[in-house]
Every structure is written in structure tokens, then in C-alpha cells.
């Protein structure tokens, strides 16, 4: 199973390269008008969450605070609300909400996994594979267009347009999908408890020479490959068209992005 710490490699910090618009000095300069990052229309923008707020709710304490692992600064930080930016208009925000809700309904159900993780793998069935894949791709796309430091390492390059086309037009065939999805169930170290009290914002990693993104919430870690090459992991652990996935159970800090961040936090 792909649980080796050495199978992951961090991508150095990077930032989006946003070209600076040329100003026409012959015209009066008007105040900047907010533009929706999806429809590109000038509209009032909503508070748009990159990872939906429901992913943070299980980790809030009695004072509505939570600790998240910041993949960009490689440290843990306290928050009182999930990361958000003014990115999308109300109509486009609903577009993403329709992608969020099926993921929430299915994967927040604790019956999907055992209370105690004393086996090497957990097989989950009855998944809507397209909805799960589309949600994960939508998080990556939202992180790609976000401006905040927590998501500056997410740069999809030419995959941005391809992913957006999948989200808008649909792609029902996961077998030919270039964006392979693998999942893991996270366990607290040296126990059998589910490690569901952390959120990891997407971080870019390299596995056997192929770039991919890893994110974690609700006790699961998700690995999404952004490559047209066959992923270098066992096909048995890939999200399948049939609606099933075999998820290796690993200690949370065996997944290198989490282990590095937790180590940095301890120091």
C-alpha cells in the first residue's frame, strides 16, 4: 500500500504569476469593480470558502476555534472560520454549493468507516464517484484562483481550463479520466481512533515523479493526480467507476505532508 513517507516530496513554495494590466493613460482611471472568478462578470461577490465550512465543523472547540495545518507556511494556526475569499457571485457560488453537498452528505456519515481502525484497509462502497471526484477537483480549482497565502502553492497551469470544463460539462467516465483519485483513512498515532480533528489545505507533492495534490478533512486524506500518465499507485486503491474504493489506513503523520507540518508545529 502507498503509505511510505518517502513516496511524497514537497513542491517548493510558489505563487501565481498574475500579469499586471496595462493602464491606458488617455482614459480616466475608474475604481476597481469586483469580478467573479468563474463567470468573469462584474458583480457583488460572496464570501466564498475554498474548502467548505462543513469540513471544519468537527474540529471546532467549545470556543468555536480550530487548528488547521497551513500547507503553504508549513505550520499549524488557529482559526474561527474556514478560509474564505470574495471570489464568486451568488449564482456561481450556488454552482459550487451543488458540488459540495453530495460530498458532505456521503463522507460526513460516520457509518462509512469503523469506529476503530484496526485493519490495514477500509473498503467503502456506494459512492457517487463522479460527485466525489468533481468536489475534489472543484477545491483545487477554487484554490488555484484564490489569492490568499494558504493556497498560493496550488497552481494548476494548463489543467485549470481542463478541470473547469469537467466541472461545467461533466465527465462520467473515470476510467479515462486523467485526474486519478486515491483516498486514505487517517488514524491517530498508536491508537485505533480516527484522526478527524484536522484540516489540511491542498499541498502539491510528487509521487514517483508525478505531481499530485493532497488534502485532508473529516478523517480522510485525498490524493489527486494532475497528469495524463497512469498514476504510480495500485489501481485497486483508486476511486472506481463502480462506486467503490479501497482506502489504506495510515497514521496521520505517515502521510508526509501532514507529518512534516506536525513536526514543524512541534518545533
Q: d(Cα 185, Cα 119) in Å, to the nearest integer?
A: 11
Vertex 55, ends 110 and 98: CA angle to 5°? 95
User: 163 and 141 in contact (C-beta within 8 Å)?
Assistant: yes
Instruction: Count the neighbouring beta carbons within 10 Å of the beta carbon of residue 22.
Output: 6
Residue 19, burial from CB neighbour count under 10 angstroms (0-12, 13-18, 19+): exposed
R_g of the chain, CA atoms, integer Å: 19
Asked whether residue 189 carries a pLDDT value surpassing 80, the answer given is: yes
Cell of 203: 499541498
Chain segment 214-266, per-residue pLDDT in tens: 999 999 999 999 988 888 888 889 999 999 999 999 998 887 655 544 454 44
**Residue 8 within any structural domain of the chain:** no
**Residue 90 within any structural domain of the chain:** yes
Q: Which of 17-31, 149-163, 238-252 bottoms out in mean pLDDT, i.e. has the lowest?
A: 17-31
User: 221 and 214 in contact (C-beta within 8 Å)?
Assistant: yes
Taking residues 130-145, report their average pLDDT: 96
User: 49 and 83 in contact (C-beta within 8 Å)?
Assistant: yes
Q: d(Cα 139, Cα 78) in Å, to the nearest integer?
A: 21
**Residue 144 within any structural domain of the chain:** yes
**Residue 225 within any structural domain of the chain:** yes
**Closest by Cα among 260, 213, 216 to 56:** 216
Convert 192-212 to b/e letters by CB count within 10 Å (16 or more is b): eebbbbbbbbbbbbebeebeb
pLDDT at 230: 83
**Residue 99 within any structural domain of the chain:** yes
Q: d(Cα 262, Cα 267) in Å, to the nearest integer?
A: 9
Taking residues 208-213, report their average pLDDT: 91
**Residue 56 within any structural domain of the chain:** yes
Asked whether residue 163 carries a pLDDT value surpassing 80, the answer given is: yes
Total structural domains within the chain: 1
* Coil vs helix vs strand at 205: strand
**Residue 180 within any structural domain of the chain:** yes
* Coil vs helix vs strand at 101: helix
> What is the domain extent for residue 110?
35-266
Is pLDDT larger for residue 194 or for residue 15? 194
Distance, C-alpha 267 to centroid of its chain: 26
Q: d(Cα 106, Cα 132) in Å, to the nearest integer?
A: 9
**pLDDT averaged over the chain?**
80
**Residue 9 within any structural domain of the chain:** no
Longest dimension (CA), the chain: 70
Taking residues 125-146, report their average pLDDT: 96
Cell of 105: 452528505
Taking residues 182-203, report their average pLDDT: 88
Amino acid at each position: 500500500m502507498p503509505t511510505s513517507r518517502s513516496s511524497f516530496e514537497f513542491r517548493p513554495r510558489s505563487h501565481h504569476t498574475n500579469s499586471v494590466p496595462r493602464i491606458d493613460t488617455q482614459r480616466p482611471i475608474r475604481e476597481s469593480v469586483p469580478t467573479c472568478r468563474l463567470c468573469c462578470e462584474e458583480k457583488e461577490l460572496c464570501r466564498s470558502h475554498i474548502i467548505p465550512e462543513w469540513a471544519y465543523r468537527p474540529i471546532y472547540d467549545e470556543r468555536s476555534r480550530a487548528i488547521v495545518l497551513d500547507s503553504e507556511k508549513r505550520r499549524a494556526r488557529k482559526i474561527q472560520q474556514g478560509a474564505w475569499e470574495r471570489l464568486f457571485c451568488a449564482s456561481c457560488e450556488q454552482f459550487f454549493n451543488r458540488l459540495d453537498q453530495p460530498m458532505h452528505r456521503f463522507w460526513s456519515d460516520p457509518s462509512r468507516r469503523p469506529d476503530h481502525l484496526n485493519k490495514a484497509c477500509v473498503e467503502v462502497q456506494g459512492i457517487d464517484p463522479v460527485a466525489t471526484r468533481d468536489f475534489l477537483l472543484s477545491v483545487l480549482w477554487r484554490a488555484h484562483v484564490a489569492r490568499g497565502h494558504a493556497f498560493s502553492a496550488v497552481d494548476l497551469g494548463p489543467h485549470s481550463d481542463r478541470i473547469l470544463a469537467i466541472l461545467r460539462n461533466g465527465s462520467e467516465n473515470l476510467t479515462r479520466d486523467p485526474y486519478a483519485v486515491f483516498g486514505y483513512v487517517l488514524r491517530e498515532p498508536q491508537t485505533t481512533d480516527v484522526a478527524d480533528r484536522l484540516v489540511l489545505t491542498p499541498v502539491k507533492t510528487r509521487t514517483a515523479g508525478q505531481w499530485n495534490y493532497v488534502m485532508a478533512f473529516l478523517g480522510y486524506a485525498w490524493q489527486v493526480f494532475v497528469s495524463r500518465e497512469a498514476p504510480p499507485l495500485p489501481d485497486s486503491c483508486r476511486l472506481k467507476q463502480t462506486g467503490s474504493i479501497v482506502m489504506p489506513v495510515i497514521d496521520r503523520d505517515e502521510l508526509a505532508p501532514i507529518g512534516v507540518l506536525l513536526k514543524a508545529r512541534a518545533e
